[in-house]
Amino acid sequence: MKMTRRRILQLGMASGPAASVLAGVLDGASAQAQPAAGAVAASSAKAADGIEKAFVCFRIGAPLWLNEARFGELLDLFERHRGVTDEITLFTSETHPPLPLAVIQERAPILKARMAAARNRGYHSGINVLSTLGHLDENLPNSLSAQVFTPMMDASGRVCGGSFCPNSEHLRAYVAQVYEAMAKAGPDYIWIDDDVRLWGHGPVSAACFCDTCVQRFSAKAGRSFTRESLCEALSVGPRADKLRLRREFLQHNRDTVSELFRLIEKTVRSVAPSLPLGFMTGDRFYEGYDFDTWAEVLAGPQRAPVLWRPGGGAYRDERLIDFTDKAHDIGRQTALLPPWVRCIESEVENFPYQRLKKSVHATALEAAVYIASGCTGTAFNVMSMYDEPLDAYEPLVAGLGAARPFLDLLARAQGRAPCVGIHAGWVKDSYAAQNPDGPWFGGPATPSQCNEIWATGLPAAYSAAQACVTAWSGDQVLAFTKDEIGAALAHGVYLDGPALTRLNELGYGELTGFTISETRDVDCIEQLTDHPLNGAFAGRRRDGRQSFWKCPTHCFRHTADGAQTLARVIDYTSRETWPCCLGVFENPRGGRVCVAGYYPWDQLQTQSKSSQMKAIMRWLSKDTLPAYVGSYHRVNLWVRRLNEQALAIAYLNSSLDPARDIEMLVHTESSAVLVTDMRGAETQVKSSGADGPYRRFVLPNVAPWEMALAVV
């Protein structure tokens, strides 16, 4: 019997690229589809990693499963597209505040019956508790009462009527009863939704500052606070004192989540000792980003499996850039997870579930991009909530089924290997450095400064351990320890003006080579100098138009021998107004520094500037970048080092133009790479030359907003 390529990929008969190569051989493919050097090594490494295919789930709203006939229609839809999903997960509620306990207990036997029906069709099935603490003000008359339970309170005293304090003993008793009821319903797993957080509950920003939480923090800090005095101490006074107290408060927030999870873990495991628990996250800087600790707590003494669902906002085709921005958010969320957390299903959400808001292609692409950035699967929250006919969703389910083999390939080829490249310098304590000389609660500290740099074809890294270059912006460095700063400055760092100032203030001036002499707000143009890192682009100009897009220009002065200028400032008459706005320096520890004073994080996508940035990053990394796009394309890439010889490179054409003749430079001794596109087509690409330790490969064309995987 002849076996098709798709059937082989679905069966997982081989691991990694070897699976699709085998499919090509059995389909009578040409020798061009044979694996490149290193592909077989990548396959064996992947088999050792233990992930043979992507973890794929569909999350189903309560209106679809409360009605038995409607749920049967849904199962029939999945049956017509067998293989689109392995799991069917049922939300406890369609609204976001916690439901009264009586409603949860009434729904438990219905959940039990629906999960049994899903298992009869061959699916794993479990429960998504929505909500534990609550998200926002919605459906308040039919939810837990803020008159009975302590609501979330922010620093200004505002409360959210649909979200409740996790340190309240009354709520903890409720949570234990909810999770006991859910465990007794017999799920294959239970998910905790992303309402378990302390930032962003309806009208409430940073929480919780209720009397209970303030008293608990006071006891830990050894000082007596009121809500008002605590907020003042976090925002006013000497910087060092504020940073110290903020770090203590972040630890208090970490502990708050940990203690809630201990309660949930103990409750669930008293009913089902080995039942997997999962947690959905977003960027959680205000909560202290303690994902590794929380995973350990959820595993419990029995070391039960822990599942993770990284998330964020990306809901419409009109905002395609949201998909790559969210991918970087997700990359951070996966970076701290222990390697034993295998099932990491990205959230792909099409809320409010109106089919024309997001295309089939965009939905499938999202899943692939998020696997590329660090997940091992995806959780689709894309189906209708109410009485829209399910046949309107059939093209979506069919399209996601067609995309499944590529998702499986990505998960097999990459596993949990971390992304290597340029790190947007963040740590667990990053929120402590938010507005260090003023009020603390100004917004979440999302380190998004590298997003445009990454979009020019430079690889992203999400942990300091995998950083070839560390990129620091503004006050970020204040969250780092002396050892962490020293380690970064002994390697390669890219700094904007404020980050340079902070390092110099901390006493690292000998290692930075520059200082800011003055700052200008208008009429500045960057002009590249005749420096080897600028190559053929010497003399090129970049005008960020400060009159339109406000960004101060920081003018630098050399403070050490060996500091070099890469760009100067000129005005609209071509007159030099300052000799240096971009410079490099190799410090006494052997580390390399680049200081960028002119639009350091955006307006980078001209040919001359993007080429210069790649040369700078190569120099800073001392040629340790694993791969990058050398040609002038808008391409995001994620590079995993599978072993000493093998790399997996997932790359996305993040443009509405086709990407033709992408030139990928790969740090390898291999003479060929194996490229697989989203439809399973394979091409072996041979090297067309070398540039130092990098081999040059001209890759097959990629359609707009599509991905491919290269394995070497």
pLDDT digits (tens, 9 = 90+) for 137-169: 999 999 999 999 999 999 999 999 999 999 999
208 cis-preceded (ω within 30 degrees of 0): yes
Instruction: Name which of 311, 306, 347 is nearest 332 in CA terms.
Output: 311
Residues 576 and 645 in one domain: no
Instruction: Name which of 635, 338, 694 is nearest 459 in CA terms.
Output: 635
Write down the mean pLDDT value for the chain. 92
pLDDT digits (tens, 9 = 90+) for 673-686: 999 999 999 999 99
Residue 441 pLDDT? 83
Point out the domain boundary residue: 557, 592, 622.
622
356 by Cβ neighbours in 10 Å (0-12 / 13-18 / 19+) ranks as: exposed
Pairwise pLDDT comparison (143 vs 442), residue with the higher score: 143
Is residue 103 a part of any domain in this protein? no
For 52, residues 6+ apart whose C-beta sits below 8 A from its C-beta are: 12, 15, 408, 412
pLDDT digits (tens, 9 = 90+) for 616-672: 999 999 999 999 999 999 999 999 999 888 999 999 999 999 999 999 999 999 999
CA angle 289, 294, 298 (to 5 degrees): 160
Residue 23 pLDDT? 31
Is residue 255 a part of any domain in this protein? no
Residues 600 and 660 in one domain: no
Is residue 326 a part of any domain in this protein? no
Place of tokens 């389910």: 397
Distance of CA 662 to the CA centre of its chain: 25
Is residue 353 a part of any domain in this protein? no
Residue 366 pLDDT? 97
pLDDT digits (tens, 9 = 90+) for 214-246: 999 999 999 999 999 999 999 999 999 999 999
Question: Sorting pLDDT into bands at 50, 70 and 90, what band is 24?
Answer: very low
Place of tokens 């190799």: 586
Question: Sorting pLDDT into bands at 50, 70 and 90, what band is 386?
Answer: confident
Mean pLDDT of 442-453: 84
DSSP string, 188-233: S-EEE-TT--SEEETTEEEB--SHHHHHHHHHHHTS---HHHHHHH
Residues 616 and 683 in one domain: no
Pairing of strands 707-711, 672-677: antiparallel
Host H or E run for residue 347: strand 345-349
Greatest Cα pair distance, the chain, in angstroms, is 78
Judge whether residue 34 has pLDDT over 90. no
Host H or E run for residue 175: helix 169-184
Is residue 589 a part of any domain in this protein? yes
Structural domain count, the chain: 2
How far apart (Å, rounded) are the C-alpha atoms in residues 259 and 399? 42
pLDDT digits (tens, 9 = 90+) for 331-367: 999 999 999 999 999 999 999 999 999 999 999 999 9
The three-state secondary structure class of 656 is: coil
Domain CATH number, residue 479: 3.40.50.880
Judge whether residue 79 has pLDDT over 80. yes
How far apart (Å, rounded) are the C-alpha atoms in residues 368 and 326? 12
Residue 49 pLDDT? 60
For 457, residues 6+ apart whose C-beta sits below 8 A from its C-beta are: 610, 614, 628, 629, 630, 631, 633, 634, 635, 636, 637
Residues 497 and 604 in one domain: yes
How far apart (Å, rounded) are the C-alpha atoms in residues 322 and 316? 9
Mean pLDDT of 498-503: 98
Q: What are phi and psi of 394, to 5 degrees?
A: -65, -40
- On whether the CB atoms of residues 415 and 55 are closer than 8 A, the answer is no
pTM of the entire predicted model:
0.92
- On whether the CB atoms of residues 298 and 279 are closer than 8 A, the answer is yes
- On whether the CB atoms of residues 394 and 77 are closer than 8 A, the answer is yes
Is residue 615 a part of any domain in this protein? yes
Residue 50 pLDDT? 81
Residues 459 and 607 in one domain: yes
How far apart (Å, rounded) are the C-alpha atoms in residues 284 and 262? 19
> Dihedral of the CA atoms 39, 41, 46, 48 (nearest 10)?
170
Domain that holds residue 662: 635-711
Kindly give the residue spans of alpha helices, DSSP state H, lying in 386-458.
394-414, 451-455
Judge whether residue 545 has pLDDT over 70. yes
Question: Sorting pLDDT into bands at 50, 70 and 90, what band is 3?
Answer: very low
- On whether the CB atoms of residues 345 and 56 are closer than 8 A, the answer is yes
Mean pLDDT of 278-286: 97
pLDDT digits (tens, 9 = 90+) for 581-603: 999 999 999 999 999 999 999 99
Residues 666 and 544 in one domain: no
Pairing of strands 514-520, 553-558: antiparallel
Among the residue ranges 35-39, 85-89, 240-244, the one predicted with the least confidence is 35-39
Domain CATH number, residue 662: 2.60.40
How far apart (Å, rounded) are the C-alpha atoms in residues 69 and 334? 38
**DSSP bridge partners of 639:** 649
Question: Sorting pLDDT into bands at 50, 70 and 90, what band is 18?
Answer: very low
Judge whether residue 44 has pLDDT over 90. no
Distance of CA 274 to the CA centre of its chain: 28
Residues 611 and 496 in one domain: yes
Residues 589 and 656 in one domain: no
Question: Sorting pLDDT into bands at 50, 70 and 90, what band is 46?
Answer: very low
- At 337, the amino acid letter reads L
For 313, residues 6+ apart whose C-beta sits below 8 A from its C-beta are: 322, 326
Judge whether residue 5 has pLDDT over 90. no
Is residue 396 a part of any domain in this protein? no
Judge whether residue 40 has pLDDT over 60. no
Mean pLDDT of 507-517: 98
Point out the domain boundary residue: 560, 594, 622.
622
Instruction: Name which of 312, 429, 453 is nearest 374 in CA terms.
Output: 312
Pairing of strands 525-528, 124-129: unpaired
Q: What is the DSSP letter of 393?
A: G
Residues 455 and 576 in one domain: yes
Point out the domain boundary residue: 622, 649, 669.
622
Handedness of CA 93, 99, 103, 104 (dihedral sign): positive
pLDDT digits (tens, 9 = 90+) for 240-257: 999 999 999 999 999 999
Judge whether residue 47 has pLDDT over 60. no
CA angle 560, 564, 568 (to 5 degrees): 120
Residues 592 and 446 in one domain: yes
Residue 644 pLDDT? 85
Residues 546 and 456 in one domain: yes
Residues 605 and 575 in one domain: yes
131 cis-preceded (ω within 30 degrees of 0): yes
**The pair of three-digit structure tokens given for residue 344, joined into one six-digit string:** 């990491």
Residue 444 pLDDT? 66
The three-state secondary structure class of 581 is: strand
Neighbours of 580 (CB within 10 A): 22
**The pair of three-digit structure tokens given for residue 217, joined into one six-digit string:** 């923090």
Among the residue ranges 44-53, 423-432, 544-553, 608-617, the one predicted with the least confidence is 44-53
Judge whether residue 31 has pLDDT over 90. no
Is residue 359 a part of any domain in this protein? no
Instruction: Name which of 536, 609, 523, 632 is nearest 571 in CA terms.
Output: 523
Q: Where are the beta strands (DSSP E) in 80-130?
A: 87-91, 124-129
